[in-house]
Amino acid sequence: MKRLTGIIITAALMMFAGCSNDMGKVIQGRVIAFEKDTGTVTFIEDKSLVKGKPDYSVLPPVVFKVPVDFHEMGPAPAVGQRMSLDADKNEIKIFDMAAAQFKTIAITVVDKKEKIDKDNALVKDVKFPIVDRTAKTIQIYSKRQKLLVTLSVPDEYFDLPDQTWAAGDEVRIYYKDDGQALRMMNITKTDIFKK
């Protein structure tokens, strides 16, 4: 009888804990701004369900406070406003910080190299994008697309900061309360399969 009572009490406690313990939510996206001083990260949510084919098309940007416990954060994210690059359609999509809107810009492809792995000598240890305002070119490497492109844009866009042409890091956030991350993983810089 004592054993049965113990089982019933344990089951009741487990049910109570299960009911009161919200499992939380997960959100993921590309970082467009990171304020280290205020501990705020701003990103465009990835709405795609297809791995390797992100969809950064939802506004407004999502803003979260980083975890209070810095051990739950991982590497600080790099920022960038490039949402997509299509060298076949000759266009690049950025998030315009001043207008708080997406902007698709027509590009002229000067040079394109495909199937460039991240360890290729052309890109390994090189910091992209490379913006040459004298030659009016921007060199971009997309690790996901394995694509190294040198392109040109209309003159007025060369006044934008270099990070405009960079793809920000992808972060995944676990949270229970909107706007406050409990955990934040920089999935661009964290290899969860590395031993």
Q: Report the alpha-carbon distance of residue 42 to residue 62 in Å, rounded.
A: 6
pTM of the model: 0.83
Bridge partner residues of 101 (DSSP): 96
Q: Report the alpha-carbon distance of residue 22 to residue 176 in Å, rounded.
A: 7
Phi, psi values for residue 67, rounded to 5°: -55, 145
Q: Report the alpha-carbon distance of residue 188 to residue 36 in Å, rounded.
A: 18
Structure tokens at 109: 């492809």
Q: Quick one: pLDDT band at residue 136, thresholds 50, 70, 90?
A: very high
- pLDDT beyond 70 at 13: no
**Residue whose entry in the numeric block shows the structure tokens 């994210």:** 77
Q: Report the alpha-carbon distance of residue 83 to residue 93 in Å, rounded.
A: 5
- pLDDT beyond 80 at 117: yes
| Exposed / middle / buried, residue 43 (Cβ in 10 Å: 0-12, 13-18, 19+) | buried
85-94 residue pLDDT tens? 999 999 999 9
Structure tokens at 174: 């676990």
23-40 residue pLDDT tens? 899 999 999 999 999 999
Q: Cβ atoms within 10 A of the Cβ of 37, count?
A: 5
Tell me what percent of the residues of the chain surpass a pLDDT of 70: 87
| Exposed / middle / buried, residue 31 (Cβ in 10 Å: 0-12, 13-18, 19+) | buried
Of the candidates 30, 186, 173, the residue with the CA atom closest to the CA atom of residue 93 = 30
